[in-house]
Structure formats: C-alpha cells, structure tokens
C-alpha cells in the first residue's frame, strides 16, 4: 500500500526523541518538507527518561573530541531555551545555578584537583571548594564531604519539558510528526536512499536521518549500521518541597538533580541488559545508595517514582553524527549519557547535512566509518 503523498517529504527523520525533533525543527525552519516517523509517541524513550544534566565539564575528558562538541552544545542550550519559550510559550526550566562535584576521599580530591587544573588551562570557569564551602552552598549534603568543585556553567534542564517544546516548535514550523509507526527499513533505489518502509507502507524522501537512539543499529538496508547498543540507567525521583538542593550535585558514583517542580532526581546505573527497561531491585538499590551518600536526609523523603531508560552507547563512547554508508542517509545517534546536552546541536548538525550544507563542526571523530574496520 502506498503512503498518502502528504507523508512523503524532502527529509524523513526516523525517531521522535530529542535528536529527531531538533533535526525536524531546524529542517522545517529552513523550508524543507520534513516528516518525523516515530514508532511509539514523541519522547517515548531515553529523551524523557534522562535526568537532564548539561554537564560537559563534569563529563568530558581533557583532549576528547567530545569536549569541544559538548561545550558548544551547552552554549546552544542557552540560546535554545528562550527561543523555545518565545515560540511555544513552554518553559524548559533551564537552571541557572551550576553544578557541584563532591569529594569524599583524598583520591576524589586529587581527581577533582587534576580536573580543575586542565579546565583552568582550557579557560573554563571552575572553582575548588573546601568542605565548609560545599556545606555553605548545599547545607543538605553529607557532612563527611571533604571538598568539592563548583562548575558554574554546567547545569540542568527539564528534559521532559524540552522534548515537548521541541515537538511543538517543529510542528509550528511546519514539520509533520507521525506516531505509532515503526520504521522497518530503508528504501534503496539506484544505490541511494529513497525513503523508508513502515510495515506495509512506503514513505518516500531523498534524505533519511537515523535518529533512532539505542535502536539506531537496527535499520534494515543500512550497509554500515552504527554499532549502537542500549545501556540501561535507573532513576529514582524524590518528592520534596521545599527542594533540598540548589545545584546539581554529583559524587564519583552518581548525581542528584533538583527539578523546578520540587522533585529531585537521583541517578544512575550503567547496565548492559539488552533492550530491557525493567526497573530492578538491584538498580534501585544502587541509585538509592548514590542518593543517600550525597544527601543522607533523603532517607526520610517520599520516593515519588522510579524508571529505567536506554542510553544509545557506542564502543568508543563517542556519538555517531554524519553521513551514512548510502547517499542520502545521515546518522545522528550514539549520544550515550550526554544526549540531552548534545541532542539539540546534533539534530541541527544532521539538518545541515540533510540540506547539503557543511557541518558547523569537524565531524571526523564521529563518523560511522570509524567502525568499518571492526566489521571486516
């Protein structure tokens, strides 16, 4: 059965997570007929399961190609939040207060001092904190803390609201979003992409963006699929009013993220359990231990919710952003534990490529071809 012509387009984006919606929003603004095809509903997977940290300085290593991309992505959020609010009337709760990393041992302190040193050299804002300064900034953290680092630029956003606002903006700009429609494979004609199949339907477009998150390696017909694998993470949400924390607070084992709605999210685990989002006792125990180590007062606070999501991981921990192995195919996936941070920028880069424009950053470290040798 042929799809209605209205679902054919200039670009088909497979996946309605933060990456796919960001790509669609940028494409629609540029006048491209854009169709997002999502197998469930918008934001059904990692993009709403995440904690919403925007933390390049806490996450990236010195010299990693991820660092420059991540710093750029953090700046991108500063412009995106007000733009989305102006366009859609939806706030995304981009926090203004920064992130504090805690040290509990001499080894933690040494690690934070080393991080501070290279970040200062790189010209990034970061401050060492003594134990009293940590407690002054965050009176509810564990009194056993022996030092910390304050990173004013790293912060958080409400990723659920962000996904909602991106979808609203993409639609307002003219993109179509089709939900409940699993894409099964690529349509390939004369050696190039010509669309996708979704069950018995064919949706036609000369460019397809694979924004399928942890499922990105499963698009049939791709000769060099990105080797993305699902990495499960658990989150526990605490209900607290007034909020116990003012900043995002990290330990060497995990984090607490205060939300504007009064909840505090605790995360997370790193588990290779296939495509299984079951919330397990072991996962909850691990996250509760992280939370109570950072803020023992949480022991008396109501647990409001818990869930698990699947991060799109890659063998080298770097994203896959750039052209695929067929003309017309573009990848924007593998954002692993930084997809809320990187997603809007990655989507916009994919949109630029889809329009035949040069990418705004060097994509060589993120090319899918880096995995070609491993497949031979």
Ligand X SMILES: Cc1cc2nc3c(=O)[nH]c(=O)nc-3n(C[C@H](O)[C@H](O)[C@H](O)COP(=O)(O)OP(=O)(O)OC[C@H]3O[C@@H](n4cnc5c(N)ncnc54)[C@H](O)[C@@H]3O)c2cc1C
Nearest-approach distance from CB 16 to ligand X, in angstroms = 5
Phi-psi region of 336 (alpha: psi -120 to 50; beta: other; left: phi over 0): left
User: If DSSP states are collapsed to H, E and C, what string results for 216-238?
Assistant: HHHCECCCCCCCCEEEEEEEEEE
Q: Which residue(s) pair with 186 in the sheet?
A: 196
Q: Looking at beta carbons only, is 116 or 311 nearer to ligand X?
A: 311
Task: Rule CB under 6 A: choose which of 69, 84, 141, 212 binds ligand X.
Answer: 212
Residues 232-271: x where in contact with ligand X by CB under 6 A, - otherwise, as a string: -x-x-------------------------------xx---
Please identify, among the stretches 8-16, 93-101, 141-149, 201-209, the one whose residues bind ligand X according to the rule CB under 6 A. 8-16
When computed from its CA atoms, the radius of gyration of the chain, rounded to whole angstroms, is: 21
Question: Is residue 165 part of the contact set for ligand X (CB under 6 A)?
Answer: no
* Joined tokens for residue 254: 């995990």
Question: Is residue 16 part of the contact set for ligand X (CB under 6 A)?
Answer: yes
Task: Rule CB under 6 A: choose which of 18, 58, 66, 141 binds ligand X.
Answer: 18
Identify whether the C-beta of residue 349 lies closer than 8 Å to the C-beta of residue 321: yes
* Joined tokens for residue 112: 């934070």
Identify whether the C-beta of residue 39 lies closer than 8 Å to the C-beta of residue 181: yes
Identify whether the C-beta of residue 178 lies closer than 8 Å to the C-beta of residue 201: no
Question: Is residue 313 part of the contact set for ligand X (CB under 6 A)?
Answer: no
Question: Is residue 193 part of the contact set for ligand X (CB under 6 A)?
Answer: no
Q: Measured at CB, which residue is nearest to ligand X?
A: 339
Please identify, among the stretches 84-92, 289-297, 310-318, 367-375, the one whose residues bind ligand X according to the rule CB under 6 A. 310-318
d(CA 368, CA 73) in angstroms, rounded, equals: 20
Which helix (H) or strand (E) segment holds residue 194: the answer is strand 192-198
Question: Is residue 186 part of the contact set for ligand X (CB under 6 A)?
Answer: no
Question: Is residue 322 part of the contact set for ligand X (CB under 6 A)?
Answer: no
Which spans of this chain sit near ligand X (rule: CB under 6 A)?
A: 14-20, 37-40, 44-47, 49-53, 182-183, 211-215, 233, 235, 267-268, 309-312, 333, 335-341, 343
């Amino acid at each position: 059965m042929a799809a209605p012509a209205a679902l054919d387009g200039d670009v088909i984006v497979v996946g309605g997570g933060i990456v796919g919606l960001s790509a669609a929003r940028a494409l629609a603004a540029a006048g491209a007929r854009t169709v997002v095809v999502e197998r469930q509903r918008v934001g059904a997977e990692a993009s709403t399961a995440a904690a919403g940290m925007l933390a390049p300085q806490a996450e990236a290593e010195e010299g990693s190609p991820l660092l420059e991309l991540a710093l750029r992505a953090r700046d991108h959020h500063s412009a995106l939040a007000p733009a989305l609010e102006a366009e859609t009337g939806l706030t995304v709760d981009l926090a203004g207060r920064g992130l504090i990393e805690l040290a509990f041992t001499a080894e933690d302190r040494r690690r934070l001092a080393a991080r501070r040193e290279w970040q200062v050299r790189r010209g990034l804002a970061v401050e060492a904190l003594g134990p009293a300064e940590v407690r002054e900034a965050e009176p509810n953290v564990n009194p056993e803390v022996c030092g910390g680092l304050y990173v004013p630029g790293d912060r958080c956003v409400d990723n659920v609201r962000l996904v909602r606002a991106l979808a609203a903006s993409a639609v307002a700009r003219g993109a179509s979003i089709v939900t409940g429609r699993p894409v099964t494979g690529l349509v390939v004609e004369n050696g190039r992409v010509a669309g996708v199949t979704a069950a018995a339907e064919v949706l036609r477009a000369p460019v397809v963006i694979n924004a399928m998150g942890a499922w990105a390696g499963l698009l049939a017909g791709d000769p060099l699929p990105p080797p993305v694998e699902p990495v499960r993470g658990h989150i526990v949400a605490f209900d607290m009013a007034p909020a116990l924390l003012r900043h995002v607070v990290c330990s060497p084992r995990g984090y607490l993220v205060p939300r504007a709605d009064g909840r505090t999210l605790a995360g997370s685990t790193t588990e290779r359990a296939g495509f299984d989002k079951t919330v397990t006792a072991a996962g909850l125990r691990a996250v509760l231990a992280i939370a109570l180590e950072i803020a023992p007062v949480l022991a008396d606070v109501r647990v409001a919710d818990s869930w698990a999501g699947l991060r799109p991981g890659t063998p080298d921990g770097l994203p896959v952003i750039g052209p695929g192995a067929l003309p017309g195919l573009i990848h924007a996936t593998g954002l692993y534990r930084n997809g809320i941070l990187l997603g809007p920028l990655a989507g916009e880069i994919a949109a630029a490529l889809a329009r035949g424009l040069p990418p705004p950053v060097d994509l060589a470290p993120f090319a899918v071809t880096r995995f070609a040798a491993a497949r031979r």
